[in-house]
């Protein structure tokens, strides 16, 4: 910009300065206001510009058309957003017992019970007992609102008595429960439009026993798939999409439905891998998803479920040895604002899929990766190598690898871990096992401003996995909680993070359970 054009720009009315800045990405807004006093003054006097920067810097998107956004002034929304961000830097915890909860039985408390699957959504725990074919959902603490407390028997979930439930997925935000099941009942199968499928997915309303009112039909139908009843598979959804992934003897298959518009789809990918490989997948917003293995990420675009997903890129991982995927953090979580009286439990802000953390753990907790999802939405730097993007090209600046000490949890841009306290002692002076919680906040504004307490970590770090060194450098802010809690042989099951609350469920020792 020449001096004449600069003078001309600065001579514009402040309203035009605001209009121009409001069209810029938040980083450019901060850059412009840091070098120009006049623009800085425009920014300071505009709650709307500050709100744009605060939202993007925290990796959030506003949920529009709510009473909150219609009636709460933007200055108030800005303050609430800042308060919520600052609150995480002063996080602490209190003990809440759920052992006597009527929905909890000893079978559900066994940490090694592979027959009972636990999932945490929207302040609620839901349990799927594969042996008894029972499903329960209940609030962890009584003050969560609104509350869902239901138990389903096989008879209430399945269309025929001899059907077997393989998987259940629940989305309280959409009042949806999806049930994947199989059956050999010939009369029932003959009544279906696609009677020769290995299993089916029914869509029901959480608050009733009927078909979900927004579903295109009661049942989602798969394309032809052999040996699925002998395979492991995963059922997951996000928004209008539901997907299922199956694997058997090195053959992998994934299908995606737009469940609100059709009960069938041609959005299918299939591929082969090593018989011993481990595969997973996750959604990245409404139009992208990743398949995840120990060797790479494959990125796909969902344009229309009537056709095959479009392959976009293959991101290689830095590990050549075969290791297993233990955990993939949720990518469908929703960030909520405070519950003011007028908008009780409305969703105010959601995680921006382009600016959040994908978190996954491999090889029995020996290595964890926090990955900035922005790398999956800006492919221009890799356009010459999309078929196989080397780790060295994309990985180090966009990830942080570490050896997780114990349990972990993730929401949005924040990762939580339970860190063992070195040298902890009991009241009698004997050695004790105690933990403190610490948080890694990867949101850009946290790193830039270092809001509240915490230590900014920008320097690269190196870990060793299977004799391979992995160096990463994604910046974050580290915050350690003040409180401590004791643990025993059963330790912490998992850390659950939801809304602006953190849950650290811990099982008692066998003697205490008795």
**What single-letter DSSP state applies at residue 208?**
S
Residue range of the domain that includes 32:
1-45
Give, for all 514 residues of the chain, the pLDDT tens digit: 555 545 555 666 677 878 888 888 888 998 888 888 888 888 898 999 999 998 888 888 887 767 777 788 889 888 888 887 776 666 655 555 555 555 555 444 554 445 677 777 777 778 888 888 888 888 776 665 567 788 888 888 888 878 888 889 998 878 899 999 888 766 666 666 655 667 889 999 988 888 999 999 999 988 766 555 556 778 999 889 999 988 777 778 899 999 999 999 999 998 777 655 578 888 988 899 998 876 789 999 998 999 999 999 999 988 876 666 666 666 555 444 444 333 344 567 878 888 888 888 876 557 889 999 999 999 999 989 999 999 999 999 999 998 876 677 787 888 888 777 777 777 777 777 777 788 888 988 888 776 556 789 999 999 988 788 999 999 999 888 777 766 653 344 456 666 556 666 655 443 333 2
Sequence-distant (6+) residues with CB within 8 A of 270 are 251, 252, 253, 254
34 within a domain of the structure (yes/no): yes
11 within a domain of the structure (yes/no): yes
251 within a domain of the structure (yes/no): no
153 within a domain of the structure (yes/no): no
Sequence-distant (6+) residues with CB within 8 A of 126 are 118, 119, 120, 135, 136, 137, 138, 168, 170
505 within a domain of the structure (yes/no): no
15 within a domain of the structure (yes/no): yes
Q: Total domain count for the chain?
A: 1
Q: Which of 302, 220, 294, 234 is nearest to 269 (CA)?
A: 302
19 within a domain of the structure (yes/no): yes
């Amino acid at each position: 910009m020449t001096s004449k054009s600069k003078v001309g720009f600065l001579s514009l009315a402040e309203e035009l300065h605001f209009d121009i800045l409001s069209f810029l990405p938040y980083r450019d807004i901060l850059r412009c206001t840091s070098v120009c006093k006049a623009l800085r003054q425009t920014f300071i006097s505009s709650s709307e510009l500050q709100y744009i920067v605060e939202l993007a810097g925290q990796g959030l998107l506003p949920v529009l058309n709510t009473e909150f956004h219609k009636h709460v002034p933007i200055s108030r929304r800005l303050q609430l957003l800042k308060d919520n961000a600052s609150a995480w830097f002063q996080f602490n915890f209190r003990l809440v017992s759920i052992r006597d909860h009527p929905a909890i039985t000893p079978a559900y408390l066994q940490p090694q019970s592979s027959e009972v699957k636990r999932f945490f959504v929207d302040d609620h725990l839901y349990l799927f007992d594969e042996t008894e074919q029972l499903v329960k959902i209940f609030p962890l603490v009584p003050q969560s609102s609104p509350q869902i407390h239901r138990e389903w028997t096989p008879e209430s979930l399945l269309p025929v008595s001899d059907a077997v439930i393989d998987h259940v997925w629940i989305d309280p935000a959409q009042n949806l429960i999806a049930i994947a099941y199989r059956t050999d009942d010939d009369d029932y199968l003959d009544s279906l439009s696609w009677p020769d499928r290995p299993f089916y997915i029914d869509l029901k309303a959480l608050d009733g026993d009927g078909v979900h009112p927004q579903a295109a039909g009661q049942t989602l139908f798969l394309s032809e798939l052999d040996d699925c009843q002998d395979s492991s598979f995963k059922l997951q959804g996000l928004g209008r999409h539901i997907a299922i992934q199956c694997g058997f003897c090195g053959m992998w298959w994934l299908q995606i439905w737009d469940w609100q518009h059709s009960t069938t789809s041609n959005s299918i990918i299939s591929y082969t891998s090593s018989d011993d490989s481990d595969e997973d997948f996750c959604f990245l917003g409404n139009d992208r998803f990743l398949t995840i293995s120990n060797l790479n990420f494959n990125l796909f675009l969902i344009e229309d479920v009537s056709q095959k997903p479009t392959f976009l890129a293959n991101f290689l991982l830095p590990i050549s040895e075969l290791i297993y995927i233990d955990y993939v953090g949720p990518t469908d979580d929703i960030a909520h604002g405070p519950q003011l009286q007028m908008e009780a439990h409305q969703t105010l802000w959601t995680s921006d899929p382009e600016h959040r953390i994908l978190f996954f753990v491999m090889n029995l907790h020996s290595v964890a990766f926090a990955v900035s999802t922005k790398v999956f939405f800006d492919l221009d730097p890799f356009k010459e190598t999309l078929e196989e993007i080397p780790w060295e090209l994309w990985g180090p600046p966009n990830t942080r690898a570490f050896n997780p000490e114990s349990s972990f949890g993730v929401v949005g841009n924040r990762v939580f871990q339970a860190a063992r306290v070195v040298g902890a002692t009991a009241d009698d002076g004997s050695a004790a096992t105690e933990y403190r919680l610490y948080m890694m906040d990867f949101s850009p504004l946290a790193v830039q401003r270092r809001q509240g307490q915490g230590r900014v970590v920008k320097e690269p770090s190196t870990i060793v996995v299977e004799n391979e060194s992995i160096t990463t450098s994604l910046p974050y802010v580290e915050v350690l909680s003040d409180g401590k809690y004791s643990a025993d042989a059963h330790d912490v099951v998992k850390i659950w993070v939801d809304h602006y609350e953190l849950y650290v469920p811990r099982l008692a020792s066998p003697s205490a359970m008795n």
